[in-house]
Amino acid sequence: MAKVAFKTTELIDLADQLDRWAELGDQAVIRAIRETADDVYDEQFRRVPVDSGDTRDSITVLYADQGRTASIGPTNRDDSGKPVGFFIEYGARGIEPVPFVRQSAKHARTALARRLDDELARVFSS
């Protein structure tokens, strides 16, 4: 009968290595999200139509979940408290839509997937 034997120290070493990979993988994901969020911010900043510049200047990046989630977009509101970016993005009566947020999101999906592939390949190839 074939036997497989492990020393306790080998299992501990394996567990330590798995913990290191988990931490490195987590850091890689956060790095990829941050880099993609920066790109989305830049693209929204370039694409938003500028009248007074208030909407452009209100574009922000907010991180949550220790950097594992990013929300990017304009935060300014009109005098009645309605989000101005929404009316620019989707239009309203007499206002043609200018989809600057949706366009940046479309590019972000591809960029994030590519960055995650690259970052995780780098982590697990070392």
| Model pLDDT for residues 89-103, shown as the tens digit of each residue | 899 888 899 999 988
Averaged pLDDT score across all residues of the chain: 87
In a domain, 20, yes or no: yes
In a domain, 94, yes or no: yes
Per-residue confidence (pLDDT) for residue 6, from 0 to 100: 66
Containing structural domain, residue 80: 8-125
In a domain, 2, yes or no: no
Model pLDDT for residues 23-63, shown as the tens digit of each residue = 888 888 999 999 999 999 999 999 998 888 888 999 999 99
When divided into structural domains, the chain yields a total of 1
Model pLDDT for residues 107-118, shown as the tens digit of each residue = 888 899 999 898
CA distance 3 to 101: 60
In a domain, 82, yes or no: yes
Which residues have C-beta within 8 Å of that of residue 59, sequence separation ≥ 6? 41, 44, 45, 48, 72, 73, 74, 75
Residue with tokens 């950097």: 67
Element (H, E) at 72: strand 69-73
The reply to whether the predicted model has a pTM over 0.85 is: no
